[in-house]
Amino acid sequence: MNNITYEFINYKSKEFKEVSELRFKILFKPYNKIHKYDYDELDYSSIHLVALDEGTVVAYSRMTNYNMNGKMTNIVVSEKYVGKGIGIEMLKRHKIKAKEFGVICLYLNARLDTINFYKKAGFQCKGNIFISEKSGLALQPMYFKIN
């Protein structure tokens, strides 16, 4: 676990099958709302980041640029790796990449149990909690201004 590496990939990368499985396992399977999740329309136009442990995908996040605003979605860390700093490191790397692309603000919709994690990473709550049509979960909009 000491050899975690981080790579930006695209949806055609060999790791993307593992990404799809990890996203489904963490974001959708526990809630029985969606029974299969491989790709969606944002996969083709997003920046994808994976954390690898000896070549195995253990975490994933993606950023999509909308008019200089970066939408962060599908942020997942495998259960065994939660609490090891991987999620924070991935967000740091996305912030750097966002700045390179001229993005001025990152935003995301956090599950209620992850709000404190995102606050530690510098995100702030904005707006009201809402129910996701896709997952059925309550989500809190959050944002981070890029300096």
**pLDDT tens string 33-75:** 555 555 566 766 788 899 999 988 888 888 999 999 999 988 8
Alpha carbons within 13 angstroms on the beta-carbon side of residue 35 total 0
CB 78 within 8 A of CB 58: yes
Mean of per-residue pLDDT scores for the chain: 85
List Cβ neighbours of 8 (8 Å cut-off, separation of 6 or more). Answer: 47, 48, 49, 97
> CATH number of 4-145: 1.10.10.10, 3.30.70.1140, 2.40.40.20, 3.40.630.30?
3.40.630.30
Whether the predicted pLDDT of 122 surpasses 70: yes
For the chain, give every domain's residue range. Answer: 4-145
Q: Is the pLDDT higher at 27 or at 72? A: 72
pLDDT of 114 above 70: yes
Least confident segment among 22-31, 73-82, 120-129: 22-31
Decide which of 89 and 14 is more confident: 89
Name the range with the highest mean pLDDT among 21-35, 38-52, 88-102, 127-141.
88-102
pLDDT of residue 41: 66
The more confidently predicted of residues 29 and 87 is 87
Looking at residue 57, what is its pLDDT?
84
- Please, where are the H alpha helices in the chain? 16-23, 86-100, 115-120
Give the DSSP letter string of 65-98. Answer: EETTEEEEEEEEE-GGGTTSSHHHHHHHHHHHHH
Q: How far apart are the first and last CA of the chain?
A: 32
